[in-house]
Amino acid sequence: MELLYTILLYLIQPLVWLRLLLRSRKAPAYRKRWAERYGFCRNKVKPDGILLHSVSVGETLAAIPLVRALRHRYPTLPITVTTMTPTGSERVMSAFGKDVHHVYLPYDLPCAMGRFLDTVRPKLVIVMETELWPNMIAALNRRKIPLVIANARLSERSAKGYGKLGRFMRRLLSRITLIAAQTQEDGDRFMQLGLKRGQLAVTGSLKFDISVTPELAAKAITLRRQWAPRRKVWIATSTHDGEETIILQAHRKLLETFPDLLLILVPRHPERFPDAREMVRKGGFSFIMRSSGEIPSGSTQVVIGDTMGELMLLYGIADMAFVGGSLVERGGHNPLEPAAHAIPVLMGPHTFNFKDICARLQAADGLITVTDADSLVKEVSTLLTDEDYRLWCGRHAVEVLHQNQGALTRLLQLLQPYLPQRSH
């Protein structure tokens, strides 16, 4: 099975290149750094440290508190953070700057993975969520490098798919040092696939371990005073194709009742910034781009958030937030980031990527579900009109965040045996 997987992976490489070229038409970053995708990263990393892999933006955000804590605890240990996408890459660079080394994780080809591990020589490898690369896992196992899957989740659907791989899956899991699952449900699914009890720990979700730093809060207050000292602001973030139209329809309607209302619109992917700009322009709205550095005037109706790494700051300016990927069937994005700012969180019905988190928020009245432009107008209007209700919803959202924190502390304790003793 492993041999078949590897042969297939080599055979499809021309298709992989074609896909990168096609994606680069909208996002030129896909045309760059191909050598890293084949394990050539000499002089870009520092060996003998921790390697952490987070495939894209969502996983990178969950990894931020963990990386910061590891840097604090093990200041002399170099950390290399790998991603697979340019947006994940930009997120790493904006979050950590020169504090960590960053390259793309190579494709799971034995030669590329071997070359990469020979250069990085990690003492410990941490993979965020559930990225299971058979050749990488086998190479780490041969080199006796501990591998921890952190913040692991496994949906029923994925478990069924993996279950069909039978013995291959059991062998793969036997080579993993530890799986730190988000919930007992996730842990049980891993065990049904053949994971031994001694290889499993349930830590909770790292996504709850985010916080608004005093620096960020101060920056947000300053920006709010500059942008909208006497105006109400709502934000729509991580929007996908099909959602901006709904958001702008709702905003048009809301402006009839709240003519001073300011919308911050942040598409999920940078390649869609021009599309959003065109939609806003065609809609006849007065707008500015965040990247221009301009301050919205009293007549500005929309700010398009076309910068990277500023989402938490922009949430801090808003009175309420709609989180995208949820009105279309993308499974939704992270509702805990706006919750950390104690503002009401609105989402569409498609939240399967954050099923457990959304269920907790909903049970505590910390999440408002909308289905279309009309229900969005209705809910936002209520929040704008009733300040007590707005503060009540925001308070319930942030309480859910605080009540479920602690996964980071539990995970750090589990990682201790695989890292050098802390020097005081």
Q: Which residues are catalytic?
A: 59
Closest CA to 350 of 239, 248, 209: 239
Q: What is the edge-to-edge ordering of all strands in the sheet holding 101-104?
A: 101-104, 79-83, 50-53, 124-128, 147-152, 178-181, 200-202
* Residue keyed to tokens 């003492």: 123
Q: What are phi and psi of 328, to 5 degrees?
A: -115, 165
Task: Write the DSSP assignment of 277-338 as a string of letters.
Answer: HHHHHHTT--EEEGGG-PPP-TT--EEE--SSS-HHHHHTT-SEEEESSTTTTT----THHH
* Residues 354, 332 contacting (CB under 8 angstroms): yes
Structure-token pair, residue 121: 């020589």
List the beta bridge partners of residue 321.
235, 345
- The C-alpha atoms of residue 238 and residue 221 are separated, in whole angstroms, by 22
- The C-alpha atoms of residue 287 and residue 296 are separated, in whole angstroms, by 8
Count Cβ neighbours within 10 Å for each residue of 269-287 and write b for 16 or more, e otherwise.
bbbbbeebbebbeebebeb
Q: What are phi and psi of 41, to 5 degrees?
A: -140, 25
* Residues 238, 268 contacting (CB under 8 angstroms): yes
- The C-alpha atoms of residue 411 and residue 77 are separated, in whole angstroms, by 18
H helix count then E strand count, the chain: 18, 14
List the beta bridge partners of residue 263.
234, 302
Burial of 331 (0-12, 13-18, 19+ CB in 10 A): middle
